[in-house]
């Protein structure tokens, strides 16, 4: 079953689901540990975990009698990457335009920055000889 990015965003729309993901992002946890950490009703947490599992944001690993809930960041990365890619080209073009505007408004900036640096450099002909003393 293929999960749409809209389904991932819909699952993330609920603040309790985001809090659940925050808990298991640090360390996989049992449902009981999540309930304790969030101080929420076990039944409510289980319903939200089911939604997160349905969109593959949470994977369950059976370990003996326990079931550890793991964050699966792949669907989130895919959804965010696809959403951001819509704007990347626009942002890149806007930044290039900004750079070009700044450079056009200050055409002498590069020369002005180089000039003070060169005025502080003296050749050996410009410096009067000094007498060195012992220990100096």
Confidence bin at 37 (pLDDT 50/70/90):
very high
What are the pLDDT digits (tens) for 61-94? 999 999 999 999 999 888 888 888 777 777 777 7
| Residue ranges making up the domain that contains 2 | 1-105
> Which two tokens mark 49?
């975990």
More reliable by pLDDT, 84 or 59? 59
Instruction: Read off the pLDDT of each residue in 109-119 and give the average, rounded to a whole number.
Output: 55
Q: Is residue 110 part of a domain?
A: no
State the average pLDDT over residues 21-27.
94
Residue 33: give its domain's CATH number.
1.10.10.10
Cα-trace Rg, the chain: 30
Calculate helix-pair angle for 31-38, 42-54, nearest 10 degrees: 120
The residue ranges of DSSP E strands in 28-124, in sequence order, are 58-63, 66-71
Residue 129 falls inside a structural domain: no
pTM of the prediction? 0.62
Domain count, the chain: 1
Q: Do 55 and 6 contact (CB within 8 A), yes or no?
A: no
| More confidently predicted of 49 and 105 | 49
> Is the residue at 118 inside a domain?
no
Q: What is the predicted pLDDT for the residue at 107?
A: 67
């Amino acid at each position: 079953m293929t999960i749409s990015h809209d389904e991932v965003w819909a699952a993330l729309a609920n603040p309790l689901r985001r809090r659940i993901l925050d808990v298991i992002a640090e360390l996989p946890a049992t449902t009981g540990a999540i309930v304790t950490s969030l101080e929420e009703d076990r039944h409510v947490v289980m319903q939200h975990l089911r939604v997160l599992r349905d969109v593959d944001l949470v994977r369950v690993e059976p370990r003996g009698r326990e079931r550890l809930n793991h964050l699966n960041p792949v669907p989130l990365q895919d959804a965010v990457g696809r959403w951001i890619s819509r704007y990347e080209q626009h942002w890149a073009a806007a930044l290039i335009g900004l750079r070009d505007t700044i450079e056009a408004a200050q055409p002498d900036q590069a020369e002005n920055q180089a000039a003070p640096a060169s005025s502080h450099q003296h050749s050996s002909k410009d410096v009067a000889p000094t007498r060195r003393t012992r220990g100096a």
